[in-house]
Structure 1
């Protein structure tokens, strides 16, 4: 009710003038008044006339500045909100009988501002059926891929029709008119951490019996004297503690509460962010090391890639250009490829891929030698918003906002196909072929980040809440973390490949208001910013060490980093069975079958009878050297080394070997910046904040206590 608040505030000067100019006020003021009775009478009469004029002006001013219905308390609401059985004015005057009359429209009718009732089918049809235009007010222009909620005029993706869960406020998308004949809404089951309302709506269990009805039928406030922990464990993943009034979810030692009711293991390495890559935490001590291809800086402890300096390739309205990560050697690559399009790269042959914004054309550009003529690979494939290269299987993935899909093609474009369809607004995409993972981000009405196999099977949501508009994603492969930049929340965040250990690492400082591209390398995160026309970087752990690498870039767009360590070779998971091929993994994505897959093929000359022998069991490792088993093994090695070598070996490790050991007393651990985790100050009582899952942005939620919201 922004308009109501604005109008209410804007009317205050008139009310103040009325009070100041009233006879009673002036009588007690220090202003001189006429001493004779006739002068006093004339003075009072003039003041009465002035008050009348002010009241008239106030009434006219209020009507002229309120485009909808003027509430009796001075607020202003839209005409479409008038007499809709929901009070929008603070005083409820938009639903009073003297406003709406005695007529109440039926459930399948729309209540016009003129007190007329018209069929909901006439809502937002381009014709004024109410006579006052209220049936066409606040209507959105829904495209063919969306369904119109007639009562509210809002749009819902057609993929959500008849899915068993109402998305229109009145459930129209699940009604008989919306669902084809014979198609019955699929039964929707709320998750274990949710409570099912009578209309099928799902609410967090923590909202049950909190003295505030959240279900349309107030079912969440029934039978509140029972032990909620006896039903589905209260929706808690681990411990449920019943209270005299409500319940709370708790976690065992070594775990913490996230998502209102779920517990995840505490990873001290990820929480503290002491190490740049490999990390072991034992008894308050951290040991850091680097992956193959990197060397640890003895001064900063950062893992630096061996070889040449990495190149950062970016797109803009002035063409495709490149610069090294130090901000030097700024060069032009393709001057006539104009526009801030997404980018990807194949480092093996130093090739960059770029998509022309809005036209669906994908080009290939070589980085070697003089600027070469770009090669047009694909044309007319809709609005491409994200690109990614699978360097192991030589595949190109991209997101298509027009077809609401993720598509895939061979790098030589000899074959292509739609891989995953039915997405709302796919934006960024990334691949990790060594683990067999495909990641993508979605905006729109249900923003999220998901993971699947490279064949599109085995989808797993990673982020579904406290996310607004993720525009790009990037992978930190050494730590198995996914980073995303959210233009709505103006933040850069990260999460593990398993969906745990979420953390916000960079918040807007004036250079993160309209981001476009994102990349992660070594100890830094890089992004393009369109409002400030710049390319920026910051520490990937906490957003410190911010700097502008390139200023004054006209409409900067996608960016990609080029260095061999970013695309390492090695045995890759083949498909979703967790196996690694002994010889070669062949992607079977383009045979025209409905089930794309990856298949191990035997070596040339074999009979093919021993195909099963071409696959070996492979268990996907957790985050490198950060789980309990790895920590135990490596800590044993460290202890034995110290016992055998003594002080001399310890000195040699400190001075000559690129590794370091830090004690917990040497630094203060930062509080988690996970927007789903609340870490209260000591001695302070926690009051949970109720946040709608559909609008959950950056509010933090701690233990689930049942509190009386009316007393707060």
Structure 2
């Protein structure tokens, strides 16, 4: 059969027994012909909705054979591959090379990985070999991430699953396992940062409008900046443990960058001009400079820790449309870009030497570099004995030097500090033993009555907020009509991500077993429908009682 009339825009084909099956994505059909003669042209599906790829789901098309790599994977440490000479050879994954024994492998990458959140996965790319690996799959909506190089972890926040998780990694390998660290009382964890010297995890929560800290495993959790109207929409957060300083951005009605102690005290606004959407921040811990990226002004800027000596590194709407996060490594600043779905870089001093580092990323969000230089070691002022603190020890800020010299203690939520300013006890313990806190000025009556009053106030506030939310939803346009460029309708991290999710549809048919117990063969089709929110696969039966009318000429 050679007539073009019968095969307009044929795309995929597959052989099964005596038939050749063909997809035609212009007229939305799947046809078949005799594989030997091309005759007996038949349509078996006329409404396939732009079919392209096609495969046969049947054991007949994958006959059993003898594997040359059994047993013990052919003695290969990574890949065992068959050859046309009926033998097997060992091979390595990208980023590795075979040793002289032709079976074991040697890592040849730099071990310095550009790590980034990609919506449903956490990925990393070796900065020397460009080899890419998936650290974690089946992530819901990853937004921000950070690393702990010495302990070998990547942490990330998930705004849809409302949790913070981590996975173990090192220079040469990944574990593939996921451990959920913070899962309770989390709403929109937009930004996270790791204090690698004092082993603390900090994060912002735009839903609750507060900032919290915990141990690396999620224990000893404390709210360091509460929802007291001083925060509007906290976003990015970074820490410099050597100086004991914490920085966070707020992209609400009064956009700004603030600096504070690591317990949330002594807050100071250091940047509040030429700033609108401070999506991401990073610190050059060697140069002691803060960098941030603005998603509205399309620029990257840098400043000293006190907000002085501020300058623009790059400002270009064509190069930085819809940027999200950034990281400084070596002489370069890297950033993720929503619109181009890339990670790019420029020289951090001049803004020149622009290059695209990673392409074709589904939804690039938070980025970091997994390398020892990113988290330099320093003096831990809480050693030894955790600074005498019963729970959390942190360095007090060094505003005029590069190294903190003293420490303080803080208590987790629902704990109170005793008069020694080092020992924390739970509120339940205080109620049972009131003498423990008689020198603190906190009474049992206050501990019982004040929370009750607080609960009543919170309930009233929630009722008011619900009414306001209902009124605004009733009188505003739907989310799908909002755009990133409209300041009055800027979308949250959650909305932006939800709008990029492909809405996968279920298979229109399910595989059923015949009465004999064998599996009926199926054709599996993939659609090339132009709407990215409606891509799907389909299964159709190719035996049984299916009607197969003839079309065209034989």
TM-score by length of 2: 0.50
Which structure has the greater CA radius of gyration?
Answer: 1
Higher helix share: 1
Structure possessing the higher relative contact order (Cα contacts under 8 Å, 6 or more residues apart)? 2
